[in-house]
Amino acid sequence: MEQAAKGIATAGVLGPLWPMIANSADISKAYPDEVMSIDAWSKGKIKTGDLIGADNVDLVKDLLDPVAYHQVKTMGRKIRIVPTTRDITRMFPAEYLEATLRNQGKAKFDANGNVVSPDGKPWLGGNPFPDAKTGIEVAANLTMCWGRKDNSITAIRDWEVAPDGSMSYQYDFAWVEQNTTARADGKVVPGADELLRYNAVYFTGPSDVKGTGYLNTWYYDQRKFPELVGYLPAFKRVRKFPTNQRFEPLVPGMNLYLSDAWAAGDPMLTWGNYKIVGRGPFLGAVSQSWYGDRPNWERPVHGGPKNQTFFETQMELCPDVVIFEAEPTGYPRAPVGKKRVWVDVRNQMYVAYITYDRRGEIFKSFEPQYSFQDKGDKKLMDGKNTAWHWTAVQCYNFQDGRMTRFQPVTSITGGMSTAFNVDGLYEKYMTQQALQRWGPEHARASATRAVHRSRRPDSACRTARPACGGRRAAVRGTVSAVAQPPTAPLLPRCNAGRSGARRGRCCT
């Protein structure tokens, strides 16, 4: 821990990790046996295949973040232990791993703090610092190419679970990413060399948010704030959002902020005071978590007051995890005071992420899951190779007990499907014109159906809408376009919120 105290991380314990990976995909020679198996680490007290619960979680307390430990110890959460991944090719998209190996040792920071290639031009692709030694280098690996694909569209189903265990909301949305630079293919999108990425979010259900969309345009210069615009059905136009709204829910009841994406949702130089604060083995959900054999890939749930708060989860002993902290120095009005991020050194991807409020108390936790997309005879391809992708995220508000959990699915309301490296993605989703076109089209379709439903009793409170018992009048379900305070969701809130409803709920 002496090196961690100095803000320095080292990759590999028995030897440098990446020179070994260049010669063999097996990482076993980089680490001692006791961090390559939970059986060896625990001296047989916990075995591969065991289920971690309240009765034995204290044996692995040092391998969990404090929120995950709390959930297992007090909320009925369970975690299944699976073998540690030794084959590094199962922890990357194939093209991204090839780019990382091809370009290792070529990245540097320019005078402004941006990652560049040896000639000072945008980064060539892959992880710029596979053997990251500092907090800012680790952050750069997370920031430069979020999903580690040149582009992707992920169809997502989201469930919002209230503190009492009831389901308060269920949303369908698509998350779309397009890197213009720092791509695995080494190319730069014509005319976009001053940008890093486009990121769009499109909500397709339920009806009260259908047609809502956001477009996030990132500059390559990490000192610059992204341009954020959105189409809201209430306004019937594309509008620009101020920078501080990166720390607000995308829709009512959701714990996810744009700032939270990939534990690197803001340009890395708009945060500061990066430092390494720890390093060691850790439990992470980085394998065997794709449910391709289940309908729509939807996984079982468990735990909490009504046995539906947590996703079924498999974790492995990650032999080498570096922990860094950073502060939102460019966002003086942010509700967040700092973030702490746990990053698996093997692929430089985050496995846990906690934000703290301005008082230094835990605010929210984010626990992602990843997997090679194969299970039995089922397989998802990203072209000619089996895909690697994230498979779930659980975002828990530690202060009020609300859980946001979401996962990629085969398709969502409106027919959007998960796909990778798609031709024509920019034109279809990544322009203000696309946002303007997409929003009214889906909002009109939703409004037409709403007219027909309004003739049926309790039409304002169908299953996909906020749980309200079917008692509120239709007029109370209309959307208000009044100005919202900084803590309000980006989407204008329901008028029911004016009548004393709890924050984050549409009605009571």
Question: Residue 340 contacts by C-beta under 8 Å, 6 or more apart in sequence?
Answer: 277, 323, 324, 325, 353, 354, 356
Residue 201: phi and psi, rounded to 5, are -130, 125
Task: Tell me the average pLDDT across 114-134.
Answer: 98
Residue 450, pLDDT score: 44
- State the CATH number of the domain containing residue 390: 2.50.20.10
If you average pLDDT over residues 380-398, what whole number do you get?
A: 98
Residue 9 predicted with pLDDT over 80: no
Kindly report, residue by residue over 365-385, the tens digit of the pLDDT.
999 999 999 999 999 999 999
> Which percentage of the chain shows pLDDT scores above 70?
83
Average pLDDT over residues 258-268: 98
Confidence band, pLDDT 50/70/90 cuts, at residue 491: low
% of the chain surpassing 90 pLDDT: 78
- The answer to whether the beta carbons of residues 155 and 429 sit under 8 Å apart is no
pLDDT at 457: 39
Tell me the pLDDT tens digit for each residue of 302-312: 999 999 999 99
Beta strands in 285-335 (DSSP E): 301-302, 310-311, 314-327
pLDDT of residue 493: 43
Please indicate, yes or no, if residue 50 is contained in any of the structural domains: no
Give pLDDT, residue 487: 41
Does some domain include residue 56? no
User: Mean pLDDT across the chain, nearest whole number?
Assistant: 88
Q: Would you say residue 73 lies in a domain?
A: no
- What amino acid occupies position 508? T
Taking the CA atoms of the chain, what radius of gyration do you get in angstroms?
22
pLDDT, position 16: 74
- Asked if residue 508 has pLDDT above 50, the reply is no
Give a yes or no: residue 316 inside a domain. Answer: yes
> Is 440 domain-assigned?
yes
Number of independent structural domains in the chain = 1
| Residue-level pLDDT at 13 | 61
Confidence of residue 243 (pLDDT cuts 50, 70, 90): confident
Q: How far is the CA of 254 from the CAs of 310, 404, 421, in angstroms? A: 15, 6, 28
Is 480 within the bounds of a domain?
A: yes
DSSP letters for 447-473: HHHHHHHTTSTTGGG-TTS---TT-S-
Residue 20: pLDDT band by 50, 70, 90 thresholds?
A: confident
Question: Is 172 a domain residue?
Answer: yes
Residue 385 main-chain phi, psi, to 5 deg: -120, 155
Residue 351's pLDDT is 99
Identify which of 170, 172, 197 has the alpha carbon closest to the alpha carbon of residue 182: 197
- Per-residue pLDDT at 458: 38
pLDDT score at 153: 98
Q: What is the pLDDT of residue 111?
A: 98
| The pLDDT value given to residue 1 | 41
Check if the beta carbon of residue 112 is closer than 8 Å to that of residue 135: no
Average pLDDT estimate for 326-336: 96
Which pLDDT score, from 0 to 100, does residue 235 have? Answer: 85
Residue 35 and residue 13: Cα distance in Å, rounded? Answer: 10
Alpha-carbon distances, residue 257 vs 244, 262, 316 (angstroms)? 11, 11, 28
- Does pLDDT of 268 surpass 50? yes
Which of 35, 8, 104, 40 minimizes the C-alpha distance to 320? 35
Confidence of residue 483 (pLDDT cuts 50, 70, 90): very low
> Own/partner pairs for 19-28, CB < 8 Å, 24+ apart?
21/88, 21/101, 22/101, 22/104, 25/87, 25/88, 25/89, 26/86, 26/87, 26/88, 27/86, 27/88, 27/319, 27/346, 28/86
Position with higher pLDDT, 486 vs 250: 250
Whole-model pTM: value is 0.87
Residues 469/473/479/480 CA torsion (nearest 10 deg)? -120
| Cα(45)–Cα(56) distance, integer angstroms | 9
pLDDT tier, 82 (very low <50, low <70, confident <90, very high otherwise): very high
Q: Domain range holding 193?
A: 139-499
Does residue 466 register a pLDDT over 80? no
Write down the pLDDT at residue 94.
98
User: Which pLDDT does position 438 carry in this prediction?
Assistant: 83
Indicate whether 124 belongs to any domain: no
pLDDT of residue 14: 63
145 contact partners, CB below 8 Å, separation of at least 6:
96, 125, 179, 182, 183, 184, 197
Residue 8 tokens read as: 């320095």
What are 85-107's pLDDT values in tens digits?
999 999 999 999 999 999 999 99
pLDDT at 108 over 90: yes
Give the pLDDT score at 165. 99
